């Protein structure tokens, strides 16, 4: 019998409103960790148990999301429901070059309560996975008590053999104190076996002046595998006890850069779970990201998924 790993991705999903070129709006849903969950589920199929770990409300949008995730093959056994709560909302504007700006309404989001004691058993199920994935936004939506509990549970999971993957995704608007972001990111890096982060995020949180400085700092945390994304510039990596630079093929038709990093992470993780080398995994992640940025929205239609394996 072949081994099928489990991976729990802890985060938040929100309603996504997008302005069209004619001034109208389209509605979908997304969130950095959720985007990675969907792409990872599509790539792994039945070869892995992909869990999205979050809380939803009792509103119609929450019900719609859960149904859609199950259709994507995501296991929802670590999705809880909170009465008198709903899901957050964000609005995207995209400029002529495909770069986007975000505006958020997430104060009543149920996912902010994921670390409350009411959800201990749900989290225990997630923490029992082979892999646990989270992002800087996962940290940002929690209060300090929730962050302490999350890191404590991650430390226990790591001691029990789980691999921790962290994307240092940073949104300054979610942190009232920049120093707090630095402190919590640093503590999370101490627990990681895989770093998947962006050069701009590390510069914003830690003040790194070069990608190489970020790589050296992350190595000081004892992280065995480090991937630093740099848009359409080469990917900087440390794996197998050596530094590498992986070229990225340029994309001429950039429509929307939303979820590019999330898609890369899914491609990289899927490739590693399928026993590809770290370098090949980076190329596979970049290939998926390249396809995603040629479409609007965080999650592209399944028919546009490239053949990567």
Tokens of 253: 């038709």
Catalytic residue among 116, 130, 262, 280: 262
The upper half-sphere exposure of residue 198, i.e. CA atoms within 13 Å in the direction of its Cβ, equals 18
* Beta carbons within 10 angstroms of residue 284's beta carbon: 24
Strands (E) in the chain, as ranges, are 6-10, 14-19, 25-30, 49-56, 79-81, 88-94, 100-105, 131-135, 163-167, 194-198, 225-229, 235-239, 242-246
Q: What is the DSSP letter of 114?
A: T
Instruction: Please answer whether residues 81 and 62 qualify as being in contact, where contact means their C-beta atoms are separated by less than 8 angstroms.
Output: yes
Catalytic residue status for 262: yes
CB within 8 A of 138, min separation 6: which ones? 10, 11, 12, 33, 150
Q: Which residue has the tokens 């069209």?
A: 20
* Helix segments in 163-247, DSSP class H: 178-189, 199-206, 211-220
Residues with catalytic roles: 262
């Amino acid at each position: 019998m072949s081994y099928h790993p489990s991976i729990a991705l802890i985060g938040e999903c929100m309603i996504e409103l997008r302005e069209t070129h004619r001034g109208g709006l389209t509605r979908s849903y997304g969130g950095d960790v959720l985007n990675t969950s969907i792409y990872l589920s599509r790539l792994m199929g039945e070869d892995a148990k992909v869990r999205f770990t979050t809380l939803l409300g009792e509103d119609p949008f929450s019900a719609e999301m859960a149904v859609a995730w199950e259709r994507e093959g995501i296991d929802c056994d670590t999705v809880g429901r909170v009465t008198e709560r709903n899901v957050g909302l964000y609005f995207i504007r995209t400029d002529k070059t495909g770069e986007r700006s975000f505006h958020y309404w997430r104060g009543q989001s149920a996912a902010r309560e994921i670390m409350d004691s009411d959800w201990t058993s749900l989290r225990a199920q997630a923490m029992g996975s082979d892999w646990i994935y989270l992002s800087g936004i996962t940290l940002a939506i929690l209060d300090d008590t929730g962050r302490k509990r999350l890191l404590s549970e991650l430390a226990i999971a790591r001691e029990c053999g789980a691999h921790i993957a962290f994307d240092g995704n940073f949104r300054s608007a979610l942190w009232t104190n920049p120093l707090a972001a630095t402190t919590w990111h640093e503590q999370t890096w101490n627990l990681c076996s895989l770093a998947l982060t962006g050069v701009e995020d590390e510069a914003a949180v830690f003040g790194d002046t070069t990608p190489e400085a970020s790589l050296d700092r992350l190595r000081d945390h004892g992280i065995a595998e480090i991937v630093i994304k740099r848009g359409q510039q080469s990917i900087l990596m440390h794996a197998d006890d050596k530094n590498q630079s992986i070229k990225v093929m340029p994309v001429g038709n950039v429509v929307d850069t939303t979820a590019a990093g999330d898609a890369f992470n899914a491609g990289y993780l899927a490739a590693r779970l399928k026993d590809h080398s770290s370098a090949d995994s980076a190329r596979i992640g970049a290939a998926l990201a390249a396809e995603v940025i040629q479409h609007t929205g965080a999650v592209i239609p399944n028919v546009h998924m490239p053949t990567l394996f």
